[in-house]
Amino acid sequence: MNLQNPKKFKMLIDQAHEVALNVLRPISRKYDKAEHAYPKELDMLSSLVDGMNQSGDGLNAGAAVNKRGDTQTGNKNGVNMSTALSVVEMCYGDTGLLLSMPRQGLGNSAIAAVANDEQLKRFDGVWAAMAITEPGCGSDSAAIRTTATLDGDHYILNGEKIFVTSGERADAVVVWATLDKKLGRAAIKSFVVEKGTPGMNIDRLEHKLGIKASDTAAISFIDCRVPAANLLGNAEIDVAKGFAGVMETFDNTRPLVATMAIGCAKASLERIKEIFKDSIDPTYATPYLQSSNIAAQIYRMEAEWEAARLLMIKAAWMADNKIPNSREASISKAKAGRIANEITLKCVELATCVGYNEDELLEKWARDSKILDIFEGTQQIQQLIIARRELGKTSSELK
């Protein structure tokens, strides 16, 4: 088992690292303080990212699934792996700015996961946010109350969504809604609602602990007419698999959230190692039990970080090789989200007053990291999913 990054992605990783250091880091504090202001510097950068994506493997949030029609057999390191490794480096620069990148929204992953070929072509180049969470409906996605009623060649959406990342800035929002509340999970489908559609209203933007460069919106839908052709995937309600189709989105986006956590934690680890460079052995030749307390804590954090990175790599590799990865996606997200919180907060603690003030980015990374253990499924939900997979239980059998 080769645990090194694939050599063919070295140039891509190096480019992402340079962008993180020279583009994202310099404006990180600026947009942390200017919450809800759009980072105009990203427009030029997004054009570069678009070019990388068109050339093949790149930083592509819409690359959550394998390229359609791909017939390659044998071991493959493809677009899921390149995306993961690129996102790590970009979040080494700034997580909030990565989440603000045009055309790299989580809705793009949803489109890639369940859209048909015609929809993939029609929505190519669209910046798509994702709207799932509702008031009173967070971790239990099956409890969605937003409705979609068929009316001729349109669906009429009614409901409210909250915590929609890039909800105001994106070109469209992928909305989860139910076709029939009585049928439960099977009736939940996802719809692409384009910006400016009558009946879709941005009610407010949230003020947050971290990732302030990223806008987070509350959106209401009141008799919002959406073309039936914008229902992603199959419109038929399949009681056996209906919900599984839209849930594939999470299998694809959770490893991406893990990469964000790994990138953010990497930034904190490198900074704390730089601060205490005289207290640690860069060759790791000193036995752990003979190290200073500070060095021992840093070594432990590095070990946990490496474990999280390898779990993320495994989930991305499985996606590239068309191996079901629901269990591994949740494991990678749970591990990385928790470890990122622990590492960034511990680094603030170890750096004392240096880590707590705004002269350093350590305190910002600690604030940014918290959301990475919450969105796309909380730590507790990930553990529940893992337990179901391990024990062979359904969601109704193990709650």
Is 134 labeled as catalytic in the residue annotation? no
CB 233 within 8 A of CB 311: no
Q: Which amino acid makes up residue 356?
A: Y
The CA dihedral of 332, 337, 343, 348, to the nearest 10 degrees, is: 160
Best CA proximity match to 216, nearest among 62, 20, 378, 375: 375
Annotated catalytic residue within 342, 376, 390, 397? 376
Q: Which amino acid makes up residue 9?
A: F
Is 340 exposed, middle or buried, given 0-12, 13-18 or 19+ CB atoms closer than 10 A? buried
Per-residue three-class SS string for 106-169: HHHHHHHHHCCHHHHHHCCCCCEEEECCECCECCCHHHCCCEEEEECCEEEEEEEEEEEECCCC
CB atoms within 10 A of CB 348: 21
DSSP H or E segment with residue 222: strand 216-227
In angstroms, the CA 388 to CA 398 distance is 7
CA-to-CA dists, residue 44 to 32, 47, 51, 281, angstroms? 20, 5, 11, 41
Q: Which residues are catalytic?
A: 376
